Structure 1
Amino acid sequence: MPNRINEAIQTHYASRDIGSVILAALEQAGKDLNHLTPEDLAPIDEFHIRGRTATLELAHVADLNAHMRVLDVGSGIGGTSRCLAKEFGCRVTGIDLTDEYCRAATTLTAKVGLSDLVDYHQGDATSLPFNDGVFDTVWTEHVSMNIPDKPRLYKEMYRVLKPGGTLAIYDILAGPFGPVLFPVPWARTPDTSFLVTPNELRDLLVDAGFTISNWTDTTEIARTWFVALAEKIRKNGFPPLGFHILLGSDFQEMAQNQGRNLQEGRIMLGQVVATK
């Protein structure tokens, strides 16, 4: 069963030669491909609600610094890992289930001159290909929704952290007024969606051995952000560079559903920091 789920998830996210598609869109948007910056990639890079702003908020709460080795679980096309490396100088390793995303992440990271600080591996978050106790921080944004075996996920995160290390999470959680309306950006059908409630996430983290040090419900600010985004798309259409490039023609329906899921309390957003 897990293999079938993994295959379905990869099918959902995979897009043929997405790196070249993104570079073509950047060129269309007037960017010089020989002098790209992480900021140029920002509209497509941070594939989660509130984008780079949410990443930087979590990074400050997690006290990231240049001496840290960070594991980005579910690194996608590499936006978060590049942001953390550039803004904080930390060494970041990304792991993602989708091979095509890892290839695109490697290409884009080289284009913005960050290959010395960031590398990527294809792999399963519930079976991390790393030794025990090697990372100062394990980081994950909008990833666990696709992972059914959450006890194993958080135990693996705990295992690869150094003693005293930090787990930084920004995730979509099940709201009190579900069920979720599909399709959404992380799943076209309920078959690959595995949300937990905030209380269930607390229990999972404690059972894995973590001590929760910070928990912020960011649902309300996410609602405001999404309303503004939907209005912008309604007035101006999709920009040359945006998440629709990653998910294709049904992204508009996904975005509409995501907005409704937020507005109607079907999903919640949680920013969580825990320690080993």
Structure 2
Amino acid sequence: MEKLLITGATGFVGGRLARALAGRYELLTPGRAELDLLDAGGIARYLRAGRPAFVVHAAALADTGYCEAHPQESEAVNLRAPEALAVACAGVGAKLVVFSSDQVYNGTELAGPLPETAPLAPVNVYGRHKLEAERRVLAACPGAVCLRASWMYDLPVQGLKNSTGLPGRLYGAALGGRPLALNPLEWRGVSWVGGLTERFEAVLQLPGGVYNAGAENALNSLETGRAMAARLGLPENTVCAVRDPRPRNLAMDTAKLRAFDIELGNTLDGFARCLREYGL
């Protein structure tokens, strides 16, 4: 059985990947005491000792506001750690998969679903560090796969770290009696994490490069929120438009991923699949 290392295995994405891949690989899920991702030398020693065939880097500092206020910490976690992993993976011949983000598109003036080749100029610290991490990872380890993930969610699962994303915010707004303000000029995919984890063995076989890895979505964020709220049976006033809407396009074109028979679908279809998975 091949060894597969997951960083951030106690996190939202990493924990679900570990559960989905259990029994198919010999999983290595080190905690910080075993593998300090801020120690490049320690990373290299760990990989030389463990010799994983695959490394999935799911650990990140993903709070964009926190990264903006703490840029040095973001640089260490979101840029230097994946770069060190790439160098170490190249040294032992391990296949590396790194999670990037749709935030690399934040700031584009292009319309429509964005391909991986779109010119980029991220407007926040998190997005800039993720984009530079992609470049450095592929320079050090050309066979690595960088997944630009969209905003992901899942329903609560016992024993795993949870992030309910937009559906959770909708429920919170309905319960609190205060509408959730969403932008009618924003376009982005909102993805059920299960759509990706169930296809992850195919992801591990992808050729090196950057891939958009989230649900496609032709709706704006206000329309998306309204459609999800209706599917959940929540009141129409659960969502409202923001008072000062500003254009923002993070919608991704996933044709490159689909060419390898990895289909993540669209936002509303994925939401319906999520609810069916949990019997709702």
Tell me the TM-score normalized by structure 1: 0.39
* Higher normalized contact order (CA 8 Å, seq sep 6+, divided by chain length): 1
- Larger radius of gyration between Structure 1 and Structure 2: 2
